Amino acid sequence: MDTTLQDPLVGQVLDGRYRVDARIAVGGMATVYRAVDTRLDRVLALKVMHPTLATDGSFVERFIREAKSVARLAHPNVVQVFDQGTDGSYVYLAMEYVAGCTLRDVLRERGALQPRAALDILEPVLAALGAAHRAGFVHRDMKPENVLIGDDGRVKVADFGLVRSVDTVTNTTGAVLGTVSYLAPEQIEHGTADPRVDVYACGVMLYEMLTGDRPHQGDSPAIVLYKHLHEDVPPPSAAVPGLAYELDELVASATARNADIRPYDAVALLAHARETRGALGEDQLDAVPPQAITSEHLHADDLTSVIPRALTLPVNEDEPEVHRTSRLASPPPLPPRQRSAQSRRRLFTVVAAVLLVFGAGAGIWYINSGQFTRVPPLVTKTEAEARDRLGEARLEVGQVEHAYSDTVKRGSVISTDPEVGERIRQNDSVTLTISDGPQTVRVPDVEGYRLDRARSVLKQEGLAPGMVTREFSEDVAAGFVISTDPGSGTTRRSGSAVALTVSKGSPVEVADVTGASLKDARAELEEAGLKVRVAPEQVNSEFDKGQVARQSPAAGSGAAEGDTVTLTLSKGPEMVEVPDVVGDSVDDARAELEAAGFEVDEDRGLLGLFGDTVDKQSVKGGKTAPKGSTITIEIR
């Protein structure tokens, strides 16, 4: 049975624009559909947040952040985001549709890949991430599920939903977001998220492509976390004998547990990957790996998860205080009898807590104590709903500010201060910023303004000066605005472009100066208000040397005052040797002379009325004459 038929969105039109045709995939946070933009008549992918999560401001905020972040990345290997919006309880992203499969699909079907194929996939992934890193973003959730391979072979990176600024560091009382098998040690231990966490994840993916399996595995996510922290990623050649040591070095470099010795971003790793490719021979690149045994089921650690990072528990006085779940979540051997019951209970509690989070798929693990609480999720809530939620959390409403927003509906919360999730004392106040909806601007009347002044006025009003088109005008002086598109008084969203039509002044008819001397031609054109430029090259023409052979614009064209007319001077006619046609028939003589570039005139007189033989020619054969000139032949 086609399960998409049971999906209530299939067959519906979302937001009055996107017709949902089929369900493509279901993830932990959203479902992806194939849809058609009915306005532009194009197929696209629609990523719709699960309605149960759409009520959580933090998830909605992440969705909006994805749209804004990816919109800034104009790169052929990044899945484009076209639009973002809401329709009732549905929050969606409209994205580029890539017909094909994911890298996960390829690995499940084929297992290990040849080194050439692995590098062919890795390099465009790194190019996409490199663009993100240089733009100031970190993906933070790189995994095979987020690598799309189109039917045409193009590779694209998707799902920037966890993207953050390069300098973002998760608060130590917060949570680490990501997928367990691809998390870098510093993500687990410190919550840091700079470009090197993406480098680490790509190193793990490369290992998986070369061997067909993940480097760190275990019966639980806690065991995998422990291995990321305490065990190096093994060389791929240990699993697939015969792989080149350069590939081992590339994986080791990318997955170094010490982030300081990894390539500093994806651009640097891309350079290393290309060096590795260049060092391998054809046989090494095309080495056929043994068939890997892969699971047909989704691993629990394939899913993006929320990992608690601040479970601080009592410890013995002679032990350091531990603040990282990952350190305590190690898979221990059976404890000796001498181990204290307190230590066993502490270890069991922490491991159980980690497994509980992953097993239940729960949200962020908050630790509240005493008089402290956390700012609840309020983004996209109405002001009334936000006030109620703050009251339930024993918090006060502070200042209420307003701002324009292109993504949050009018009357809903854009942001809070302190931010959502921050620890705050009970009864403290929270400042709300409420959306006034998209800022709209009335296009000012700039007709009759000089172009520079018109541009300045548009910018002052929050609009962008757009394309400038120049036209002749009998009424508006040159350099001044004739009209705008959209016209003055029209309402447009802030930042929209306004096209300007600028006058070139009254048209000036360009005189015909061909055949004139340069002095006379210049004087006539400048008197009409035009400028003169002399072309550096000269050409052969019918005119004498030094006379004007060509002009641009042509005679009779319209030009604006101050426009430039380019004059090309003659170097005289081209001289051509005249063929000797005396004694030839008239037809043969005409053909030969015309082929040489001459015009032909016949002189028959009284005696040649019925003749057909050339008796004389005006220029004797072997002499030269200007090409294009006329040769007269006498006929007897």
Question: How do the domains of the chain map onto residue ranges?
Answer: 1-97, 101-367, 373-435, 440-503, 507-569, 575-635
The H-assigned helical ranges of 139-281 are 185-189, 195-211, 221-230, 236-239, 245-254, 266-279
Output the CATH code of domain 507-569.
Answer: 3.30.10.20
Question: Mapping DSSP to helix (H, G, I), strand (E, B) and coil, where does residue 477 land?
Answer: coil
For the segment 429-454, what is each residue's pLDDT rounded down to a tens digit?
Answer: 999 999 887 778 889 999 999 999 99
Residues in the chain predicted with pLDDT less than 70, given as ranges, are 1-5, 65-66, 69, 161-178, 290-371, 406, 607-608
**Which pTM value belongs to this model?**
0.48
* 152, 260, 512, 520 from 549: Cα distances, Å: 55, 71, 11, 13
Domains 101-367 and 507-569 share a fold: no
CATH number 3.40.50.300 given to 440-503 = no
Superfamily of 101-367 according to CATH: Transferase(Phosphotransferase) domain 1 (1.10.510.10)
Question: Which positions are annotated as active-site residues?
Answer: 141
For the segment 346-401, what is each residue's pLDDT rounded down to a tens digit?
Answer: 444 444 434 433 333 333 222 233 467 888 888 888 999 999 989 888 899 999 99
Domain 373-435 class in CATH: alpha beta
Report the distance separating Cα 584 and Cα 590, nearest Å: 9
In the block, tokens 């064209």 appear at 557
* 277, 437, 542 from 539: Cα distances, Å: 55, 65, 10
* Long-range residue pairs from 290-295, CB within 8 A, at least 24 positions apart, any chain: 290/112, 290/240, 291/111, 291/112, 292/111, 292/112, 292/211, 292/212, 292/213, 293/111, 293/212, 293/213, 294/107, 294/108, 294/111, 294/212, 294/213, 295/108
DSSP state of 334: P
575: tokens are 């001289």
Instruction: Select the CATH number that applies to the domain covering 575-635 from these four: 3.40.50.300, 3.30.9.10, 3.30.465.10, 3.30.10.20.
Output: 3.30.10.20
The H-assigned helical ranges of 259-379 are 266-279, 282-285, 325-328, 341-360
301: tokens are 């650690």
| Residue in 247, 245, 257 with CA at minimum distance from that of residue 210 | 247
What is the reported pLDDT for 355?
Answer: 40
- Do 306 and 357 form a contact (C-beta atoms < 8 A)? yes
279: tokens are 């060092």
For the segment 465-506, what is each residue's pLDDT rounded down to a tens digit?
Answer: 888 888 888 899 989 999 999 999 998 877 788 999 999 888
Neighbouring C-beta atoms of residue 454, cutoff 10 Å = 23
What is the reported pLDDT for 162?
Answer: 46
Beta strand pairing call for 175-179 and 18-26: unpaired
What is the reported pLDDT for 381?
Answer: 87
CATH number 3.40.190.10 given to 1-97 = no
Tell me if the bond preceding 418 is cis, omega within 30° of 0.
Answer: yes
What would you report as the CA-atom Rg of the chain, rounded to the nearest whole angstrom?
A: 39
